[in-house]
Amino acid sequence: MRQSQLFGKTLREAPKDEVAVNAKLLERGGFIYKTMAGVYDYLPLGLKVLEKIRAIVREEMNSVGGQELLLTSLQPKERWEKTGRWEELGREPMYQFKDHSGREVGLAMTHEEALAEIALRSIQSYKDLPLYVYQFQNKFRDELRAKSGLIRGREFLMKDMYSFHRDEKDLDRFYRIVDGAYKKIFKRCDLDAYVAEASGGAFTKEFTHEYQVFSEAGEDIIFYCSKCRYAQNREISSMKEGDACPKCKEMVKSAKSIEVGNIFKLGTKYSIPMGLLYSDEKGVKKPVVMGSYGIGLGRLMATVVEIHSNGLGIMWPESTAPFKVHLIVLDGGKKAPPSKAGRASPTAVGGEKFYKILLAKGVEVLYDDRDDKSAGEKFADADLIGAPWRAVVSEKTIAARGIEVKKRSEKEGKIISEKELLKRVI
Amino acid sequence: MRQSQLFGKTLREAPKDEVAVNAKLLERGGFIYKTMAGVYDYLPLGLKVLEKIRAIVREEMNSVGGQELLLTSLQPKERWEKTGRWEELGREPMYQFKDHSGREVGLAMTHEEALAEIALRSIQSYKDLPLYVYQFQNKFRDELRAKSGLIRGREFLMKDMYSFHRDEKDLDRFYRIVDGAYKKIFKRCDLDAYVAEASGGAFTKEFTHEYQVFSEAGEDIIFYCSKCRYAQNREISSMKEGDACPKCKEMVKSAKSIEVGNIFKLGTKYSIPMGLLYSDEKGVKKPVVMGSYGIGLGRLMATVVEIHSNGLGIMWPESTAPFKVHLIVLDGGKKAPPSKAGRASPTAVGGEKFYKILLAKGVEVLYDDRDDKSAGEKFADADLIGAPWRAVVSEKTIAARGIEVKKRSEKEGKIISEKELLKRVI
């Protein structure tokens, strides 16, 4: 992609109404646009990151046997009345309103009711179980506080998975499999997530499990043991800082953290009111046992930014970077005086050459071909946007018959050969 | 995918509340689920088709230089008041409501205002133009009549593209390019679309262009010339049936048709009220000239079903089929008595063998491995689901050392060799 044509420009300063680091950096970098508090548009750079994360999550959900589907946002009141959640969630945070005909509808913030109803067509017998379905679907939650950028959105893309089982034992089996998949997802996004016990909130009375990443931007506090990694959300914990870990006796610590995912054993809470039963081998009707498993994609992206950034900008892990290489042409580029023979400047020629080489090798590259920006502005943009590799073409590198390459995490670049560049970034 | 594990079963009869062929067949086939009138969930089979269509549209939008982004559904009233559309569309069909804090918000049915506002950050100079952005985004429209299945939805996935230009001339140039891309998209979906002149409705007073596919399920009527393909929507046409075509003098005909896409020249209708100006070479500020270009993905899918189906079910073109091959095992499959040596039945072994061969060759295959369905039920399901190829393993095909293959459009299958099968379906 040529940066001169990119929709979304970097901003010198963060918008004044943002307090969260993730929102400040993502808006400054041209990844997102704020339409309202908690409601963000994804510009091309931001969507590229979101799609990287979506691909990782999709791969892991497919690998546990999940079938992808896509449910609706608009929801009829009658469906949610069956579980009592129309009234419960209507007080806050579910958006509910009347359509032009006067019918009451809501915007889904989760899909237990919907799936328990839809599954009536798929599940009749024990032979139809287990089943696992998931979606990437835009959720709506009318959050009272929405000051954490993409961490707490009023509209946000969520991966939600739902599982259907014949009994608790089979749910337990699959719950552990999803736990393994979740750990892989966060690791692939270069995040260190603790699995913390937590309350089920509106969903269940059993412990649920949250995936928590330490961060000052977090809205949760967890007590944890860094030795055995046992952890609990403060909301349910009887531990306190300095206590001996109940599992391994090491000293318990506490930390602010971001909940990047959660898994719930729902039991029969939704299947019974929705009438979702199956016949066992003897023909006896039993309620289906359910689980649900969520990851907010925008929140995950925001967490990567909170963890992987410094004062200058974002430092994307390769797995989630919008581009692998930020190629920059200096010393005037196209604007520099052409040679006597009328040819473009050597830096412009060099920049185009490397851009084409990298594209031909399948490397995702953002090419800063702008001819009205100084070296300082270009380097500042590169630090802000945060591609893992920066490659610079200048009069100096052309004289040295190479290209200057620097990792985002390094202070200084080094001039290396084209061959060496390809070895590093392919 | 093993059909025994597929979420979403076929229904013997169409739900009684559906009148449209597309909704009847898609619901019966297990592609969709109706949550409310005009509000449909995509089950795994349906989502596969939707993603095929999305990939085609994305490819063509990228090929004209479109940059993908993703805007929000939730919209602040203030933004739409600038163009006067808050009040205009609020009467119908825009969903508008108050959040829990009392703030008025709406659900986007289109994004001209949003993009004109967001583009303020990207467009300052003539050097920033032209720009083309697009998205696949869930739209909401509170339609009074929603009886046409996926053709007229209250919630629907739409590809909407927006272009930004320095003048009308550049808009005209790009408008023709998008017209070419649209024709490719419909052709790739095996649809014959006429380009009809139409009124701009709420958008513009100039003619706009609609892509119209003849179908009894259509809600439009167009007058057209089958020789030179000139066409107009009845709403604006001064032609009538039997007239001489104003372009080529051939006789004008009329037909019911489905509008599968449209393209609009917006001019400065949105840029002026939103303050979207650019500086030309002399530093003079001018309003940006805009265009917009829409395709409803669910409607396109429904149109393919309306056109490519018969009394037995859907007949997907290969480009949009959920699976290329429907592989069916008969004569008991796993349920059939094992051999004396305890091995699985020959048909079960044969089915598994072909399933693995096809998967290994990268062929998308739905494998009907169910052992509690009759041959009649399996064939009926295959006709209903409508994969382009049906391949049957039975005692007869095993005795003949082959596999019975039939195109969805053919009446009778033919036993061919494994080698021949691969030649046909790869």
Look at the block and give the residue holding tokens 């739902």: A162
What's the average model confidence in pLDDT over A10-25? 93
A259: closest CA of chain B, how far (Å)? 23
Check pLDDT > 80 for residue A416.
yes
Two tokens, residue A255: 């930390």
Q: Which CATH number is A323-425 given? A: 3.40.50.800
Task: Report residue B288's pLDDT band, with 50, 70 and 90 as the boundaries.
Answer: very high
Angle CA(B127)–CA(B128)–CA(B131) in degrees, nearest 5?
Answer: 130
Check pLDDT > 80 for residue A19.
yes
Bond preceding residue A273 cis, omega within 30 of 0: no
What's the average model confidence in pLDDT over B160-174? 98
Higher pLDDT, B137 or B146: B137
CA distance A116 to B7: 12
What's the average model confidence in pLDDT over B126-133? 97
Two tokens, residue A143: 């959050």
Task: Report residue B200's pLDDT band, with 50, 70 and 90 as the boundaries.
Answer: confident
Chain B residues 76-95 with a CB less than 8 Å from chain A = 76, 79, 92-93, 95
Bond preceding residue B338 cis, omega within 30 of 0: no
Average pLDDT, chain A: 95
Bond preceding residue A130 cis, omega within 30 of 0: yes
What pLDDT was estimated at residue B338?
A: 74
Q: Where are the domains positioned within chain B? A: 3-73+108-310, 323-425
* Contact: B69, A50; criterion CB under 8 Å: no
Give, as one character, the DSSP assignment of residue A12: S
Which chain B residues are within 8 Å of A101, Cβ to Cβ?
144
What pLDDT was estimated at residue B240?
A: 93
Q: Using the Cα atoms of residue B136, residue B118, residue B107 and residue A203 in order, give the sign of their dihedral.
A: positive
B384: closest CA of chain A, how far (Å)? 17
> Taking a C-beta distance cutoff of 8 angstroms, is the pair B222, B212 a contact?
yes
Q: Of all helices (H) and strands (E), which one includes residue A132?
A: strand A131-140
What's the average model confidence in pLDDT over A371-400? 96
Residues 6+ apart with CB under 8 A from B206: B200, B265, B267
Residue A70 has its nearest CB partner, among B4, B42, B67, at B42
What pLDDT was estimated at residue B332?
A: 74
Check pLDDT > 90 for residue A184.
yes
Check pLDDT > 60 for residue A202.
no
What's the average model confidence in pLDDT over B139-168? 95
Three-state secondary-structure class, residue A334: helix
Range B3-73+108-310: architecture per CATH = 2-Layer Sandwich (3.30)
Check pLDDT > 70 for residue B203.
no
CA distance A291 to A280: 19
- When scoring B1, B6, B35 by the number of chain A Cβ atoms within 10 A, the one with the most, hence best to mutate, is B35
**What percent of chain B is modeled with pLDDT above 70?**
98
Output the DSSP codes for A367-423. Answer: EE--SSS-HHHHHHHHHHH--SEEEEE-HHHHHTTSEEEEETT-SS-EEE-HHHHHH
Output Rg (C-alpha) for chain A, integer angstroms.
25
| A151 burial via Cβ count (<10 Å: 0-12, 13-18, 19+) | buried
What pLDDT was estimated at residue A335?
A: 73
CA distance B240 to B253: 8
Task: Name the phi and psi angles at A18, rounded to 5.
Answer: -100, 135
CA distance A214 to B357: 47
Task: Report residue B144's pLDDT band, with 50, 70 and 90 as the boundaries.
Answer: confident
Chain A CB within 8 Å of residue B71 CB: yes
What pLDDT was estimated at residue B171?
A: 97
CA dihedral A38, A221, A49, A35 (to 10 degrees): 10
Chain A CB within 8 Å of residue B360 CB: no
Check pLDDT > 60 for residue B136.
yes
Check pLDDT > 60 for residue A383.
yes
What's the average model confidence in pLDDT over A197-208? 75
Three-state secondary-structure class, residue B274: helix
Output the DSSP codes for A47-59. Answer: HHHHHHHHHHHHH
CA distance A65 to A60: 9
Check pLDDT > 60 for residue B274.
yes
* Contact: B36, A154; criterion CB under 8 Å: no
What's the average model confidence in pLDDT over A256-265? 97
Question: Which tens digits make up the pLDDT trace of A330-375?
Answer: 987 777 777 777 788 899 999 999 999 999 999 999 999 999 999 9
Residue B7 has its nearest CB partner, among A7, A69, A100, at A69
pTM: 0.97
Query: What chain A residue is nearest to B138 in terms of C-alpha separation?
Result: A138
Question: Which tens digits make up the pLDDT trace of A209-231?
Answer: 999 999 999 999 999 999 999 99
Which chain A residues are within 8 Å of B105, Cβ to Cβ?
36
Check pLDDT > 70 for residue B204.
no
Q: How many CB pairs under 8 A join A and B?
A: 148
Chain A CB within 8 Å of residue B68 CB: yes
Question: Which tens digits make up the pLDDT trace of B316-358?
Answer: 999 999 999 999 999 877 777 777 777 888 999 999 999 999 9
Task: Report residue A327's pLDDT band, with 50, 70 and 90 as the boundaries.
Answer: very high
Give, as one character, the DSSP assignment of residue A147: -
Residues 6+ apart with CB under 8 A from A134: A61, A66, A67, A68, A69, A159, A160, A161, A162, A293
What pLDDT was estimated at residue A145?
A: 84
A309: closest CA of chain B, how far (Å)? 23
CA atoms within 13 A on the CB side of B116: 26
What pLDDT was estimated at residue B201?
A: 60
Question: Which tens digits make up the pLDDT trace of B59-88?
Answer: 999 999 999 999 999 999 999 999 999 999
Taking each helix axis from N to C end, the angle separating A297-307 and A44-63, rounded to the nearest 10 degrees, works out to 110
What's the average model confidence in pLDDT over B266-273? 96
What pLDDT was estimated at residue B205?
A: 67
Separation in Å, CA B184 to CA B54, B151, B192, B264, B388: 14, 21, 10, 18, 21
Residues 6+ apart with CB under 8 A from A140: A73, A94, A95, A107, A108, A109, A154, A155, B73, B74
What pLDDT was estimated at residue A337?
A: 73
B370 φψ region: left (φ > 0), alpha (ψ -120 to 50), beta (else): beta
Chain A CB within 8 Å of residue B73 CB: yes
Question: Which tens digits make up the pLDDT trace of B362-373?
Answer: 999 999 999 999
Provide the b/e sequence for A61-88 (b: ≥16 CB within 10 Å). Answer: beebebbbbbbbbbbbeebbebbebbee
Three-state secondary-structure class, residue A164: strand
Residue B9 has its nearest CB partner, among A100, A121, A144, at A121
Q: Of all helices (H) and strands (E), which one includes residue B304?
A: helix B297-307
Task: Name the phi and psi angles at B404, rounded to 5.
Answer: -90, 120
- Of the candidates B303, B298, B61, B309, the one whose C-alpha atom is nearest the C-alpha of residue B185 is B61
Number of Cβ atoms within 10 Å of the Cβ of A253: 17
**What percent of chain B is modeled with pLDDT above 90?**
91
Query: What chain A residue is nearest to B117 in terms of C-alpha separation?
Result: A35
Task: Report residue A201's pLDDT band, with 50, 70 and 90 as the boundaries.
Answer: low
* Contact: B50, A70; criterion CB under 8 Å: yes
Give, as one character, the DSSP assignment of residue B245: P
CA atoms within 13 A on the CB side of A3: 28
Three-state secondary-structure class, residue B382: helix
What's the average model confidence in pLDDT over A263-281? 97
> Taking a C-beta distance cutoff of 8 angstroms, is the pair B140, B97 a contact?
no
CA distance A223 to A393: 49
Chain A CB within 8 Å of residue B44 CB: yes
A72: closest CA of chain B, how far (Å)? 6
What pLDDT was estimated at residue A343?
A: 80
Higher pLDDT, A204 or B72: B72
Query: What chain A residue is nearest to B4 in terms of C-alpha separation?
Result: A128
Q: Any idea which fold A15-73+108-310 has? A: BirA Bifunctional Protein; domain 2 (3.30.930)
Question: Which tens digits make up the pLDDT trace of A50-85?
Answer: 999 999 999 999 999 999 999 999 999 999 999 999
Two tokens, residue A106: 């809501």
Most distant pair of Cα atoms in chain B: their distance: 91
> Taking a C-beta distance cutoff of 8 angstroms, is the pair A288, A166 a contact?
yes
